[in-house]
Amino acid sequence: MKALLSLSMVALTTVSFAAPAAQSAPPAASPLTAPWAGPYGGVPPWDQVKASDFPAAFTAAFDEYRREIAAIADNPEKPTFANTLVAMERAGDTLRRVMAMFGVYQSNLSTPEVQALDLEWSPKLAAVADEVKFNAKLFARIAAVYNTRGDAGLDPVDTRLLERTYADFVRTGAKLDAVGKQRLGEINQRLAALFADFSARVLKDEETWIALGADDLAGLSTGQIASLKAAAEERGLKDQWAVVNTRSSVDPFLTFSDRRDLREKVWRSFKNRGDNGGPTDTNALIVEITKLRAERARLLGYATHAHLRIEDTMARTPEAAEQLMAKVWAATTARVQEEVADMQKLAEQEGFTGRIEPWDYLYYAEKVRTARYAVNQDELKPYFELNNMIAAAFHTAGQLYGLQFEEITGKVPVFHPDVRVWEVREKDGKHVGLFYGDNFARTGKRSGAWMTGYRYHEAVDAVRTPLVSNNNNFIKGAPGEPVLISLDDATTLFHEFGHALHFLLSNAKYLGLSETPGDYVELPSQVLENWVLTRPILDRFARHYQTGEAMPQALVDKVRAAAKFNQGYSTAEYLSAAIVDMHLHNRAEGITDPKAFERDLMAGIGAPKEVAMRHRLPQFLHLFSSDAYSAGYYSYLWADVMASDAFKAFEEKGNVFDADLAQKMREQLLAPLNSSDRAEAYRVFRGSDPKIESLLERRGFPVEKPKAE
């Protein structure tokens, strides 16, 4: 997942996502507002920044940005692409740097002080973005260039930037009258505050834990017990073990703990984040957010928030997204029934007399996996040592794209001692960018995994190289012990690395064209997941951390055979959340009772009772920490259709590192970012539109054979 930005950050970057090669003088003597110095085109000065620096930096950056926009809007010369669109690309450099660093504080270093700053400054950021979108003189210049674009001699990339900028201004209120603009600004600022509040409340619940005693550890591996012990010690708990309320801690416990009562307790605590009443409850925020989104959509001339959000995607309409989800949902629920029947049979053989509940699913699924395929997560983990998997990801990038990674940790500042840094170069030694890795869970860091860009590639005046990071929440082992991760964790690592490669490989001229459609952005990440279980990666990097032996062929065969196992569960928990998201936002009004809405919709679509939504509404950060994934959670499925179809192209070649195909994928699917139409780019790469059959096959779902004519 790409980093979730605040509303104001999204709005600003759609106006002007680029930065000038020749940076203007800083508006104030501050490490936050000064141009980044040092090697590699300048790097964030994490070692010189503290949270209390941000208010003054935002104020100075706002003032500079306003002056830059005013200079463009008030330019007495005839509007041209160069003095309007390119000038906009050059504006806002200081504010972007400040926002990039504050975004890391929001997600990775979120103390109460940072949360208070987020709540205070997010509405102000939204207001600045709206000032730009509502600037009538600026929009008039953009419109003048747009209306004469056929005579301007623009190349296709220039034309795309112009057309997308014009459409974005219209879609965000540039044509509203004064009363409409005022109300839209009020909505945007209020939403920004609500997003910050929602994020802070969920994080607060994720910082809780369930303490365990020595008698509560049955079924857990030595490594798991050590991790829970380390978590308890970090929280000052003596002679105890702690399951922290984050997925990286909860899922392994649910998979292996023999204590059904504790599994239920842990599961309920995790699924009730944001839904416990009191100061961390988010339900009232959801009601207000959905109401404001619906009002904003009507104000802008759209039937629903979903129509507003999906217009600029590959799907184009909510109906297209719903049709795709419906095609997969029926196969998903049927598969869940099969999986539950298998688990129920095994559970009854072991003397269990009840029915499978959501807190039982991972536990009994692992038992079925072990019985059916003679493979379990504990047997696999010794082969997935974190450093080896990082090396495996780098090797994959090298084999596909010729990239080389050299660790330079200690040579550039980082925001936490856990963070490592690598310089990325082409095969010929040409500098590409820097890759930062922040892999471990800790207090103040939100759960999940995501990619963040500190700086993106652009070439308006001169080339500026990207600085990107991956952020995971793996659990540290005991001191001195290696970090062993699950196959799912290894897949997550490759997923986020796919996002990073997308931006490291960029050759986009304008960063105003860096944001790809929401249902395309997951393609580079989801396609890279497929390389984890390829033989070259397993044979070279999946080596036992104690013996150094490669994963035995017999175990590899079992892993491959089990790869499609439990796809009903994983698809159902994701897809139910995506369907709820779409139904929530594809309506003319907001909702008044999130619990009832979620409950009734799940019942209405026949969601299996044994599988809960991956993210219930009260903790659904994708939807309520920004607008980024609202009415867009379906995008993972949309992108996975493309990803499955794209990887099948390599399988058809018989070589997962086919050089010609890899070069084509780099040139067509990754490097341009949004410099050309993404649907057409995929057709050029594959020779046709993506086929859903590839996705169904990969998940082990039945595929309808074409009828004979």
Active-site hit among 206, 207, 496, 610: 496
- E-only strand ranges, 292-428: 404-407, 420-425
Known catalytic residue at 496: yes
Question: Are the beta carbons of 309 and 630 closer than 8 angstroms?
Answer: yes
- E-only strand ranges, 213-348: 241-244
**Taking the mean position of all CA atoms in its chain, how far away is CA 406?**
25
Q: Tokens 């003597």 belong to which residue? A: 29
Question: Are the beta carbons of 451 and 2 closer than 8 angstroms?
Answer: yes
Residue 295 CB-density burial (10 A; 0-12 exposed, 13-18 middle, 19+ buried): middle
> Which tokens sit at 405?
């990674």
> Which tokens sit at 570?
């994983």
Residue 121 CB-density burial (10 A; 0-12 exposed, 13-18 middle, 19+ buried): buried
CA separation for the pair 12, 26 (Å, rounded): 19
Other CB atoms closer than 10 Å to residue 29's CB: what's the count?
Answer: 8
Closest by CA to 358, choosing from 481, 222, 266, is: 266
Backbone φ and ψ of 211, nearest 5°? -85, 140
Task: Give the C-alpha distances (Å, rounded to integers) separating 420 from 83, 110, 227, 338, 439.
Answer: 41, 20, 21, 44, 9
CA separation for the pair 665, 532 (Å, rounded): 18
428 CB-near residues (< 8 Å, 6+ apart): none
CA separation for the pair 524, 647 (Å, rounded): 11
- Residue 476 corresponds to which amino acid? K
Residue 464's DSSP bridge partners are 458
What's the start-to-end Cα distance of the chain, in Å?
43
Residue 261 CB-density burial (10 A; 0-12 exposed, 13-18 middle, 19+ buried): exposed
CA separation for the pair 690, 357 (Å, rounded): 36
663 CB-near residues (< 8 Å, 6+ apart): none
Q: Is 232 helix (H, G, I), strand (E, B) or coil?
A: helix
Closest by CA to 161, choosing from 86, 51, 71, is: 86
Q: For residue 592, what is the DSSP state? A: S
CA separation for the pair 699, 466 (Å, rounded): 34
Closest by CA to 210, choosing from 279, 275, 272, is: 272
CA separation for the pair 126, 192 (Å, rounded): 7
The helix (H) or strand (E) run that includes residue 451 is strand 450-455
- Residue 370 corresponds to which amino acid? T
What number of H helices and E strands is found in the chain?
28, 7
685 CB-near residues (< 8 Å, 6+ apart): 646, 649, 664, 665, 668, 669
If you write DSSP's letter for every residue of 103-114 in order, what string do you get?
A: HHHHHHS--HHH
Residues of 500-518 as b/e, b for ≥16 C-beta within 10 angstroms?
Answer: bbbbbbbebbbbbbbbbbb
Residues of 576-608 as b/e, b for ≥16 C-beta within 10 angstroms?
Answer: bbbbbbbbbbbbeebbeebeebbeebbeebebb
Q: Tokens 């929009």 belong to which residue? A: 139
Q: Tokens 């953009």 belong to which residue? A: 142
Residue numbers annotated as active site:
496
